[in-house]
Structure 1
Amino acid sequence: MIHPTAIIDPSAEIAPDVEIGPYCVINANVSIDSGSVLKSHVAIDGHTRIGKNNTFFPFAAIGQLTQDMKYAGEPTALEVGDGNTFRENTTIHRGTSEEIPTRIGNDNLFLSYAHVAHDCQVGNNCILSNNATLGGHCTVYDYAIISGLSAIHQFTRIGEHCMIGGMSRIPQDIPPFMIIAGNPAAVRGVNLIGLQRRGFSEETRRALKNAYKKLFLNKSNNLATATENFLENEQAKDENVSRLIEFIQSSERGITR
């Protein structure tokens, strides 16, 4: 299961059924659970813990040193869940401080040249398309889709079930359930097809569409005021609309409109 050209530190913890292809390099303090596959030329470094059934394609660089200039040499970490796919030349950096590791959840897909910077927190079932890049300290919630060549500013939050169009510049938080595109980015509508595919009811989709009209279509209105006013709407009681409102009200960077 381990190619003779692979270089593995003796202290690395590798499950017996892990497949490690030609010219892979696994350094000390790495652990890889059962069912994972490293195709070839994969480099895994740092205090990196990898769960079950992950697949790494050639030249993926996982758990590499943070690019944060304030890094002081402490032993920082990366935690990867189960069932993720990392395509060619994906780069995932570990955290900057010992307290907060970079975290990747379950069943995510990172296409070629996708980049996850230090201290990012990525949920489950997300897709980062080719050359999609996360700056440091970003949070990506479940089922978010970030299309190719899109760049996410550090400390930005990407809401669940949203879809970001290709080549978008994202300097502010992306509200959940929405479609966003452009440079600068703007909300273009509700991700209705994605929500339908994931089993959201017609009633919820209608409530989110109404919220979109009230909160995002009229950009001359103050978003905070529009949000407060929408709380009086009966549809604001829908749990997903409530989540949208909570996300907006908790933003520190501001919301993409």
Structure 2
Amino acid sequence: MRIHPTAIIEDGARLHESVIVGPYSIVESGAVIGEGCRIESCARIYGMTRMGAHNRVCHGVTLGSEPQDLGFRPELARPLTIGDHNQFKENVNISCGIKSDDGTRIGSHNYWMAFSHAGHDCIVGDHNILANTATLAGHVEVEHRTFLSGQVAVHQFCRIGAYAMVAGVSGVPQDVPPYTLVDGHRARIIGLNLVGLRRAGFTQEQRSRIKSVYRLIFTSGLRLAEALVEAERTYPSPETGHIVHFIESSRRGVLSFGRDL
């Protein structure tokens, strides 16, 4: 274990012997840091943080900090659980949980650019990218392989579906369906995330089917419940099932289309 002499490791913190801690960083009592993690300068790992293996924590990052919630009391704190192979760039801030027993949960292989933020009780999956200052309010859920561009702000309790992309300086007030591209001050769907789908290996047939499903759901004139049933009947596939389940389970509703697909 390589601990810089200016770093503070409180009694009760548990660090794997391979962990590196840089100058002026603080790891509080109760924190758990897994194998191969690198904590660079001036970072603070709060006591409710449980971190897996091979994560990089850059300068000024705060993980497991007190939620920005006026009703917070220390006895209400719940864990921040982090998976493996994440990168937290400069001044990223992620809050611990407060409302749910599982707290805030971050998966693996996510890339958090400078000043990005996740509020309390967020759930973030795997292989997501949050660009500079992208912000998740409390209770936001992000599936996997999404891209949130710079200065995106996601309203509390919203969900971001897998393989979706949110354009820069967008405000997201409702759920973003899987595979879509959204944009706008009050974000709307402007098409499919075709570049992301191609890079992820989706075939032309799959992309065309996803497009047909969304056309049916949003432009057929059918009631939503009827359109979802018809989509699964007409275009059966894992992607269709994902879209239908995502929309059926939405609590805030999904974004509308800003133009024709």
- Counterpart in the other structure of 2:97: 95
Q: Deviations over 1:179-227 (max 9, x none)?
A: 11112111111112211211223221110011232334x4977544543
* 1:128-143 alignment runs, 5 A limit: 128-143=130-145
Indicate the SS of the match to 2:105. Answer: strand
- Counterpart in the other structure of 1:213: 215
5+ long unaligned stretches in structure 2: 257-261
Q: Deviations over 1:101-128 (max 9, x none)?
A: 1000000000000000000000000011
Indicate the SS of the match to 2:63. Answer: strand
The verdict on how the C-alpha distance between 1:98 and 1:12 changes in structure 2, with shifts beyond 3 A counting, is farther
The code of the aligned residue for 1:114 comes to S
The code of the aligned residue for 1:125 comes to H
* Cα distance in 2 for residues equivalent to 1:226 and 1:148: 34
- Counterpart in the other structure of 1:243: 242
1:187 aligns with 2:167: no
Q: Is the 8 A contact 1:77 1:98 kept in 2?
A: no
Q: Deviations over 1:71-122 (max 9, x none)?
A: 2322421100000000001000000046131000000000000000000000
Calculate the TM-score normalised by the size of structure 2.
0.92
Q: Deviations over 1:137-162 (max 9, x none)?
A: 01000111111101000000110110
**Please, which of 95, 99, 105 is the counterpart of residue 107 of structure 2?**
105
* Cα distance in 1 for residues equivalent to 2:161 and 2:100: 26
Indicate the SS of the match to 1:63. Answer: strand
Identity %: 37
* Cα distance in 2 for residues equivalent to 1:135 and 1:220: 34
The verdict on how the C-alpha distance between 1:254 and 1:98 changes in structure 2, with shifts beyond 3 A counting, is closer
CA RMSD of aligned residues (A): 1.6
* Cα distance in 2 for residues equivalent to 1:208 and 1:176: 10
**Please, which of 136, 144, 147 is the counterpart of residue 145 of structure 1?**
147
* Cα distance in 2 for residues equivalent to 1:32 and 1:205: 41
* Cα distance in 1 for residues equivalent to 2:171 and 2:223: 22
* Cα distance in 2 for residues equivalent to 1:97 and 1:73: 12
- Counterpart in the other structure of 2:177: 175
- Counterpart in the other structure of 1:65: 66
Calculate the TM-score normalised by the size of structure 1.
0.94
Q: Deviations over 1:21-73 (max 9, x none)?
A: 11001111001011111110001113211110000110001110112222232
- Counterpart in the other structure of 2:21: 20
Aligned residues: 254
The code of the aligned residue for 1:4 comes to P
